[in-house]
Amino acid sequence: MSRAVLCVFLIINVCVGHTAENGFVAEKDVFAARRDALMERIGPSIAVLQGMPDPRGYVPFRQDNSFYYLTGLAVSNALLLLDGSQKQDVLFLPSRNEKSEPWEGPSLYAGAEARTATGVDKVMNLDEFGAELRKRNETSPFVYTPFMPYETAATSRDRAERYDSSRLENALDGRTSREEAFRKKLKESAGASSTIKDLSPILDEMRRIKDAMEIDRLRTAGRIGALGLREAIRAAKPGMFEYQLAAVAEFVFMWHGAFGEAFFPIVGSGPNSCILHYYEKRRRMEAGDIVVMDFGPDYGYYASDITRTFPVSGKFSGEQAQVYGAVLEAQKAAILAVRPGATFEDLEDAAGNVLERHKYEKYTLHGIGHYVGMAVHDVGKFGPFAPGVVLAVEPGVYIPKKNIGVRIEDTVLVTEDGCEILSRDVPKEIGEIEQLMSAGSITINVGD
């Protein structure tokens, strides 16, 4: 029977600092400034956002990213109304449910306490929403609400859209999305003559450029992610299962204050190293395997996305090192190209030129990167970078006939004059990886 023992005292000694109990102290002025900025963008119109309902299972509540972005509020069944004409924000909350408090603990409900805690202009009971919307909508040209799918823990827009489309097209289901259903109800509440418009493009562009608070959380997410991947790399040895490496990293994430996983862990060894989003993690790793590990924490509603490739035996073979060296050179070239005004196409060209010179261009299967933020595949139009944009840079080469897959990925912040690698604490030079794997701070018994 396999068993693993973590040398916890070593992990404690690299603690990056804990946050306040129950998550984060909401910086009320930051969220208020975002609401004000959104009201400027919608003019004299109204915007309405719905928060997430109570979870269907025994899992922690996780707010929708856009709702949290504007409120900092992790409370279920809430609605937010922004009145651009009166420059006023109104939060709608359920009544107090005393029966649930012994089970779930106290929650925020409509009242003076909620206004003080959130900094919104007005707090009302949830059942007052319809009348309040109709009253304010009399002089409003439009009612805005997000048309794009909601995002919660480990959810990104691309996966959510695929899910909604699949359900709609299923002959045995056919349900519309949560957002579509909400739009219909919103139009009923606002009145038949009201025009409902999509808030998603406006919010997406706001979220694309990170403010100081977001950058601080993304830096912490990068540090925590790096700690987790370092320990997983250090732990790797033949005979372990892929899921055991994921468990090591997740333990470190949670120890340092992460809410959970930013996405499912990808740990692919041997033939699985060539499967881009391999999630099963059931294979026992063998001597000579190369491992692709792609993982990151969800810290304070912000993600880190890091991939490292390493040899399970602790030493790269000659051919593994050759492929790895080309991908690393390509990634360095792409990161060097990250600056204000650059685009993903510029990064593709920089990495592509390197891989073409090494004759690996035909073994690439995906693009050079994506935005990172509240979601691991974050929102926003692809266009010229600006300071405050955060992205993943991840060239990869995959040669299934040889069981060699190599991907190297870092989370990178665009700065005024270049970039900052937020996940820089995970080694990626061949010598540094091999040295880390020889250090051994984790004792794992893989015997039966």
pLDDT per residue rounded down to tens, the chain (448 residues): 344 444 433 433 333 333 333 333 358 999 999 999 999 999 999 999 999 999 999 989 999 999 999 999 999 999 999 999 999 999 999 998 888 889 888 889 888 888 888 999 999 999 999 999 999 998 899 999 999 999 999 999 999 999 999 999 999 999 999 999 999 999 999 988 899 999 999 999 999 999 999 999 999 999 999 999 999 999 999 999 999 999 999 999 999 999 999 999 999 999 999 999 999 999 999 999 999 999 999 999 999 999 999 999 999 999 999 999 999 999 999 999 999 999 999 999 999 999 999 999 999 999 999 999 999 999 999 999 999 999 999 999 999 999 999 999 999 999 999 999 999 999 999 999 999 999 865 544 444 4
Q: What is the CATH number of the domain that holds 140?
A: 3.40.350.10
Q: Are residues 220 and 281 in the same domain?
A: yes
In a domain, 14, yes or no: no
State phi, psi for 93 to the nearest 5 degrees. Answer: -130, 155
Per-residue confidence (pLDDT) for residue 163, from 0 to 100: 94
**Residue 261 and residue 234 share a domain:** yes
Residues near 295 by beta carbon (within 8 Å), at least 6 away in sequence: 225, 228, 229, 232, 246, 249, 250, 261, 263, 265, 266, 267, 306, 307
Amino acid residing at 239: G
Query: Which of 191, 208, 225 corresponds to the end of one domain?
Result: 208
Q: Give the range of the structural domain holding residue 104, as residue numbers without chain letter.
A: 28-208
Report field, pTM of the whole predicted structure over 0.95? no
Question: Are 199 and 280 in the same domain?
Answer: no
243, 163: one domain? no
- CA of residue 51 relative to chain centroid, distance: 18
Tell me how far apart the alpha carbons of residues 206 and 381 are, in angstroms, rounded to a whole number: 11
Indicate whether 23 belongs to any domain.
no
Give the end of a domain, one of 159, 179, 208.
208
Residue 83 burial (C-beta neighbours within 10 Å; 0-12, 13-18, 19+): buried
- Are both 276 and 176 inside the same structural domain? no
Q: Are 140 and 105 in contact (CB under 8 A)?
A: no
| Cβ contact 299:224 at 8 Å | yes
Query: Residues 139, 231: one domain?
Result: no
- Answer yes or no: do 405 and 435 share one domain: yes
Answer whether residue 228 is part of any domain: yes
Q: What is the pLDDT of residue 161?
A: 94
**Domain annotation covers residue 19:** no
pLDDT value, residue 27: 87
Q: Could you tell me if 175 and 269 lie in one domain? A: no
Angle between helical axes of 242-255 and 212-235 (0-180°, round to 10): 140
Tally of domains within the chain: 2
Domain boundary among 154, 174, 208: 208
Tell me if 336 sits within 8 A of 30, measured CB to CB. Answer: no
Determine, yes or no, domain membership for 16: no
Q: Is residue 6 part of a domain?
A: no
What CATH number is attached to the domain comprising 255?
3.90.230.10
178 and 143 in a common domain: yes
Domain contains 22: no
Distance (Å, whole) CA 285 – CA 275? 15
Same domain, 219 and 109: no
Residue in 228, 233, 234, 248 with CA at minimum distance from that of residue 439:
234
pLDDT for the residue numbered 413:
98
Amino acid at 211: D
Domain assignment of residue 11, yes or no: no
Please tell me whether residues 327 and 411 are part of one structural domain.
yes
pLDDT on residue 10: 40
Domain co-membership, 185 together with 241: no
- Contact between 326 and 354 under an 8 Å Cβ cutoff? The reply is yes
Positive or negative: CA dihedral 285, 159, 398, 325: negative
- C-alpha to C-alpha distances, 304 to 111, 201, 413, 446, nearest whole angstrom: 36, 23, 11, 30
Residues 368/348, Cβ–Cβ less than 8 Å: yes
